[in-house]
Amino acid sequence: MGLAWQQAPFGKNPAGRFLTEEPLPKHILYAEPAGRRMRVELAGAVVALSDGVTLLHETERYPVVYFPLSDIDAQLLRPSAKRTRHPQLGETAWWSLRIDGQSFEDVAWSHPSPPSYAATMTGLIAFVWEAMDAFYEEDEPILGHAADPYHRVDVRASSRHLTAHVGGELVADTRAPLAVFETGFAARWYVPRRDVVAGALEDDRLRTLCPYKGVAHYLDVVAAGQRVAAGAWSYPEAVPESARLAGYVSFDPERVEVRLDGERLLPAAHQQVVAKGTDRNLAAAAA
């Protein structure tokens, strides 16, 4: 996603390459002003509110938002005994929050003495995403992790012929798929529900969260006496930016035979999504 994840430019397995004489470092950190108002809420309190947050991109990590100490409610903040170490940013000091008599331990961190090349991180604090009740940009909630301004989801209508089979039995046939081009990922193809064979899809309990598309509802694909667990997914309540995906379903080419214009789609390398870091567990509870 964005700059530093999956097959993005600073990711572990970039799809392209920088045309430079010397190779780039294998692990890159890039900090920039987010340029948007953000706030954090927990237990009914506004923990932080800032127009000056910093977004940190790091290889193999989702972006993390850091707030200036001056924009955090100092009455709520307590230093923790916990100390860890970041390979590039040095000592990591942890913080707890105390709100109306409740203690929330080790839910924020900072880098008190970063090396000179990372001096911009001095005096900034980040919050463990899953430990907070909500993060906002202006008055819109942000789900999963900080939004990456370099991440795009482009949905394009197509007239190509797409089919899906399980055990040789047809489960979907369409000439009106949607192609989804998402930063760091191979193209994904979505089929209108009307072009899926009746009874071929059954709800699976698995749910995952994409900040750019919404909550993915997984589906078992049933055909030819087989059940392919979580062989497809959909976004029945897609976020506004990806609203066109509502009413469509995508089949996993690792588990289902998907053909585009007669040619089988093969799973792309380095596409397995793995949550990274303390505040990056994107699993959403089943409904």
Task: For residue range 197-241, list pLDDT tens digits in order.
Answer: 999 999 999 999 888 999 999 999 999 999 999 999 999 999 999
Mean of pLDDT over the chain? 92
Residue 243, SS3? helix
Give CA–CA dist 42/135, Å, rounded.
9
Report the percentage of the chain scoring pLDDT > 70.
Answer: 93
Taking CA atoms, 112 is separated from 58, 115, 154, in Å, by: 18, 10, 40
Kindly tell me if the per-residue pLDDT of 12 is higher than 70: yes
Q: For residue 234, which of 199, 185, 186, 193 has the smallest C-alpha distance?
A: 193
Give CA–CA dist 214/200, Å, rounded.
23
Report the percentage of the chain scoring pLDDT > 90.
Answer: 79
Task: For residue range 34-52, list pLDDT tens digits in order.
Answer: 999 999 999 999 999 999 9
Q: How confident is the model at residue 268 (pLDDT cuts 50, 70, 90)?
A: confident
Give CA–CA dist 2/146, Å, rounded.
11
Q: For residue 7, which of 268, 283, 280, 282 has the smallest C-alpha distance?
A: 268
Taking CA atoms, 127 is separated from 29, 74, 96, 109, 190, in Å, by: 18, 14, 10, 7, 35
The DSSP letter of residue 241 is: G
- Give the pLDDT mean for 108-129: 97
Kindly tell me if the per-residue pLDDT of 279 is higher than 70: no
Q: Per DSSP, what are the bridge partners of residue 214? A: 210
pTM (2 decimals)?
0.85
Q: How confident is the model at residue 286 (pLDDT cuts 50, 70, 90)?
A: very low
| Residue with more model confidence, 73 or 269 | 73
